[in-house]
């Protein structure tokens, strides 16, 4: 199972870089093995184009190194990932990015409102993508800062830093959510520009809570 997770995390790390969600050496990804509870996480300061499954580091939730074939250091934001898994036992994957538009709103310390209905799929509870207060990367200030927002939503921003997406599914789903944060941030930015700074309409929590796959859709029998 761990070898499969390592390959999956590497694949999504490469994809996040190719899609511009993680540029240069920024951002980090992890996935948790449901059987052992161990976390497979990307190393620090390694070009994702060169990453291999052997480079992945395996940690337990107390940050003890379980496997480290290549001798590389785990990402400096490992404590943040581990805190998310501790706070949300249902989470199986974390994708942290520094994508342009999402990070723009993180720099502004500005939550992204629910300007489109699909945000209901991202586990938001207050009609917004929240912002975690600033914590210096690699410190417990950062890991402590995510406790509240990750209980509010499956996606959130880090003040002055970037974005985080978590998934109860797998690392691919966490990556997709991170990609959607960036798309939503760009859409919100464009709406603000087109409206000359006027805030666009956003969906209230009670409307988002009604979302479910439309039961009235009838698919034809083959």
Catalytic, 77? Answer yes
**98: Cβ contacts below 8 Å, ≥ 6 apart:** 21, 22, 23, 26, 27, 161, 162, 163
CA distances from 222 to 156, 217, 219 (A): 42, 16, 9
Burial class (CB in 10 A: 0-12, 13-18, 19+), 41: buried
Q: Which of 3, 35, 67, 77 is catalytic?
A: 77
**Residue 96 host element (H or E):** strand 93-97
Provide the annotated active-site residues: 77
């Amino acid at each position: 199972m761990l070898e499969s997770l390592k390959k999956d995390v590497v694949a999504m790390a490469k994809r996040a870089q190719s899609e511009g969600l993680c540029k240069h050496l920024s951002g980090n990804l992890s996935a948790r093995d449901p059987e052992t509870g161990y976390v497979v996480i990307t190393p620090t300061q390694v070009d994702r184009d060169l990453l291999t499954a052997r480079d992945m580091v395996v940690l337990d939730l107390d940050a003890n190194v379980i496997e480290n074939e290549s001798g590389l250091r785990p990402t400096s934001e490992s404590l943040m990932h581990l805190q998310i898994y501790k706070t949300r036992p249902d989470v199986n994957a974390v994708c942290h990015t520094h994508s342009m538009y999402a990070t723009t709103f993180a720099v502004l310390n500005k939550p992204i409102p629910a300007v489109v209905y699909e945000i209901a799929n991202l586990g938001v509870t207050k009609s917004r993508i929240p912002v975690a207060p600033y914590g210096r990367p690699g410190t417990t200030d950062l890991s402590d800062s995510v406790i509240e927002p990750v209980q509010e939503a499956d996606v959130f921003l880090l003040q002055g830093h970037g974005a985080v997406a978590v998934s109860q599914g797998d690392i691919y789903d966490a990556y997709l959510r991170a990609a959607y944060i960036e798309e939503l941030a760009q859409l919100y930015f464009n709406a603000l520009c087109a409206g000359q700074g006027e805030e666009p309409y956003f969906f209230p929590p009670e409307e988002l809570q009604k979302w479910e796959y439309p039961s009235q859709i009838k698919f034809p029998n083959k």
